Amino acid sequence: MRLGMLLPDTGRYPQHLFRAMRYSVMSGGKRLRPITAIAVCEALGGREKDVIDFACALELIHCYSLIHDDLPSMDNDDFRRGKLTCHRVFGEAIAILTGDALLNLAFETVAFSESHNKEAAIKSLSLYAGSSGMIAGQCADILSENRKISRKDLLFIHKNKTAALFSCACELGAIAASAEAKEIKKMKIFGYNIGMSFQIEDDMLDISGNEQKAGKKLRKDFSAGKNTYPSVFGIKTAARHSLTHSAAAIKIAESLKSKTPVLKDLAVFLAKRSM
């Protein structure tokens, strides 16, 4: 697996750092962002080997963001994917450095890759993962805690914190396939829509919890100081908006010259997780 190969040997000094990097990256996860990048590349006529390093770099950035999200100063989570979070195993200082190391490894991976169009890939990663994308969304999310926010503010958070990396995944796939500018733009919009649908569904699943399993109606509430799509927009509107974003993504997927249904299937899958 290419992702595992990119991580430093845990026998190197300082072992704590390299063990923490491997622990955090190889602890499971759906790998939706790299899968999306590969799927887009292949749908546009590219090959997996052209995009694999871009896809891995994106996953490294995603993993770094989760380590930092879990820190006591942010979400203060003890578990991630059923395992103790990085800071709970290795300590807060090592966790911070582990996130920093993974972010740098992501750009190192692209810089030393044999893939085409590396410069464009680096520009995409730095834009969507930085203060114009994911980090801006994370900051806005932190500032929104323990107070009700507007719909506009929530859309900003979801667009930047979540949808940005999906847009990046799609752009990276198109870049690796040497797609034309109009196809790259189309894929960025596709990524935005599947990212928004994904986050809305996550919010729906979070708010439903065990109530959904028990067959009870979902609540429109504001709990634990967290703003979610259902708490800001309402349950019915949230469900409708998820389907709207999914439909927009499906329309784009169907407009491609490619005969593969994988992008359409991905959009459908992400919109049905709470149904």
Lowest mean per-residue pLDDT among 19-28, 200-209, 234-243: 200-209
Instruction: Compute the C-alpha angle 103/106/112, nearest 5°.
Output: 140
Q: Does residue 118 fall inside a structural domain? A: yes
* pLDDT tier at 217, thresholds 50, 70, 90: very low
Mean pLDDT of the chain: 91
Residue type for position 242: S
**The pLDDT value given to residue 1:** 81
Q: Per the confidence metrics, is the pTM higher than 0.85?
A: yes
Q: Does residue 26 fall inside a structural domain? A: yes
Q: What residues make up the domain containing 156?
A: 2-270
Q: What is the pLDDT of residues 2-49, one digit of tens each?
A: 999 999 999 999 999 999 999 999 988 889 999 999 999 999 999 999
**The pLDDT value given to residue 218:** 45
User: Do 68 and 96 meet the contact criterion of CB atoms below 8 Å apart?
Assistant: yes
Lowest mean per-residue pLDDT among 126-130, 177-181, 257-261: 257-261
Q: What is the CATH number of the domain that holds 15?
A: 1.10.600.10
**The pLDDT value given to residue 10:** 92
Please, is 100 exposed, middle or buried when counting C-beta atoms within 10 Å of its C-beta (0-12, 13-18, 19+)?
Answer: middle
Burial 26-53 (b: 16+ CB within 10 A, else e): ebebeebbbebbbbbbbbbebeeebbbb
Q: Does residue 23 fall inside a structural domain? A: yes
* pLDDT tier at 275, thresholds 50, 70, 90: very low
Say if residue 224's pLDDT is above 90. Answer: no
Q: Does residue 275 fall inside a structural domain? A: no
In this structure, are strands 83-84 and 79-80 parallel, antiparallel, or unpaired? Answer: antiparallel
Number of domains in the chain: 1
